[in-house]
Amino acid sequence: MLLLSPLPINLLALDFPGVTAFVSKLGWPKYRARQILRWVYQSRIRDIHQMTDLALQDREYLQSFVTIGRGSKPRVLQSGDGTRKFLLPLEDGGTIESVLIPEGRRVTLCVSTQVGCTLDCTFCLTGQMGLKRNLRAHEIVEQVLTAQDHLSPSGHITSLVFMGMGEPLANLDEVSDAIHRLTNTQWGLGFSPRRITISTAGLATRLHETAGLGVNLAISLNATTNEQRGRLMPRVNQLHPLPELLDACRTYPLSRGRRLTFEYVLLGGENDSATDAKRLAKLLKGIRCKINLIPFNEFPGNPFRRPDEAVVIQFQSLLRQSHFDVFIRKSRGRDILGACGQLGDLPL
Ligand code: SAH
């Protein structure tokens, strides 16, 4: 046959050079690669026969050894607040979770990058699953295609956040490949990189590798001393202690007009004191950034608790006194375990 890949060939699993090579092996002109990919990513077709700008006989030929490779139907959980969680079955029996969050005119999709997670942060449900496996680029992109399928024809995803299950920087090759497909305007999904955010628990040595992607970077700091971070986020802090992480943030090559985001999960009685707020302000002094506070989302079996709202507001105002832009993240989809830190193995 044409290629050494196993048959049928999954178009979605090929990157752009892969599709180009494939098209040229068929003896077709190069532009066909773009044409085919537009159908897959922009029109989201599931059947080769829908590629109506290819001659019928070419479609039939393709159909004989190529699939588009879209997965089976997701389970969709609908929250009372409009948030939807998609559970996408994988071929090997695993499940990918993504969460669609409409808010006014904005529609944010939170995507996963791993099944489970490499890390073991104590306040995160995904962290308790261990790592099942890394997602492939097309499995990351498919979360976007699936969510878009569930929107009305005039509805569009306006931002993408890599804040679902997994640690994106532990799977950066596939994440980068996915971002290329998501941002390509000729044949891909055409998202502006400014509308995409990657969030990391702090794989300090890989932070700088994300700069070339042009997307926003968020760092889940969550603690104000090395000792505290070591307790709350043991594995990542052992790999890259707090001072090393902050150094990597300080030297991150931010483009003009851009800033880092620091996320800070507020855990009642643990890291939400006035002393923590002041220490946090000191740690971040001089870094061009904004801060997102995330009141802890509870889940069964976890001992941490959500702080009272007054404590959250107080924490915010202390940071504001030090002239930081500080936002409190609304928890969305808590009733379907779709909020930050609630993605994982619980039966629903
Ligand atoms: N591994 C990456 C991507 C996951 S993003 C990272 O850590 O950044 C998930 C975000 O939700 C992180 O900021 C994390 O700190 C936060 N989070 C995890 N568990 C949470 C919980 N139970 N309640 C609120 N936020 C949580």
Residue appearing with tokens 């599931």: 46
Q: Is the pLDDT of residue 5 over 80?
A: no
pLDDT of residue 1: 46
For 75-336, the fitting CATH number among 3.40.50.1480, 3.40.50.720, 3.40.50.1370, 3.20.20.70 is: 3.20.20.70
Mean pLDDT, the chain, integer: 95
**What CATH number does domain 9-67 carry, 1.10.8.100, 3.40.50.720, 1.10.150.530, 3.40.50.620?**
1.10.150.530
**Residue 346 CA, ligand 1 centroid: distance in Å:** 17
Whole-number Å distance between alpha carbons of 77 and 94: 17
pLDDT classification of 2: cutoffs 50, 70, 90: low
CA–chain centroid gap for 199, Å, is 7
79's CB contacts (< 8 A; 6+ apart) are: 85, 332, 333, 334, 335, 336, 338
140: left (phi over 0), alpha (psi -120 to 50) or beta: alpha
Give the nearest ligand 1 atom to 113 CA.
3
Interval 227-244 mean pLDDT: 98
Query: In the prediction, which pLDDT does 214 show?
Result: 97
pLDDT of residue 256: 92
Which of 97, 294, 342, 345 to mutate to test ligand 1, by most ligand atoms within 8 A of the CB atom? 294
Q: At what angle do helices 137-149 and 172-183 cross, to 10 degrees?
A: 40
Listed in sequence order, the residues at least 6 apart from 70 whose beta carbon sits closer than 8 Å to its beta carbon are 12, 46, 142, 145
Q: How far is CA 227 from CA 167, 218, 243, 303, in A?
A: 22, 22, 11, 19
Task: Return the ligand 1 atom nearest residue 164 CA.
Answer: 4
- Per-residue model confidence as pLDDT tens digits over 6-62: 789 999 999 999 999 999 999 999 999 999 999 999 999 999 999 999 999 999 999
Percent of the chain predicted with pLDDT > 90: 91
* Protein residue with its CA nearest to atom 12 in ligand 1: 220
> What residue ranges do the domains of the chain occupy?
9-67, 75-336
For residue 179, the tally of other CB atoms under 10 A from its CB is 26
Confidence (pTM):
0.96
Q: How far is Cα 190 from Cα 180, in angstroms, rounded to an integer?
A: 9
Omega before 8 within 30 of 0, i.e. cis:
yes
Ligand 1, CB cutoff 6 Å, lining residues: 123-124, 163, 167, 199-201, 220, 222, 263, 265, 294, 296-297, 340-341
Q: Ligand 1: which of 340, 342, 343 to mutate, most ligand atoms within 8 Å of CB?
A: 340
Residue 345: pLDDT band with limits 50, 70, 90: confident
Asked if 9-67 and 75-336 have one fold, the answer is no
Which residues are catalytic, by number? 97, 340
Ligand 1 pocket, mutate which of 123, 175, 203, 261 (most atoms under 8 A from CB): 123
Output the six-digit token pair for 14: 């090929």
Residue 341 has a pLDDT of 86
Structure confidence by residue, pLDDT tens digits, 113-134: 999 999 999 999 999 999 999 9
What integer pLDDT is reported at residue 18 of this predicted model? 95
Contact 236/121 with Cβ under 8 angstroms? yes
* Sequence-ordered list of residues with C-beta below 8 angstroms from that of 51, at least 6 positions apart, any chain: 35, 36, 39, 45, 59, 62
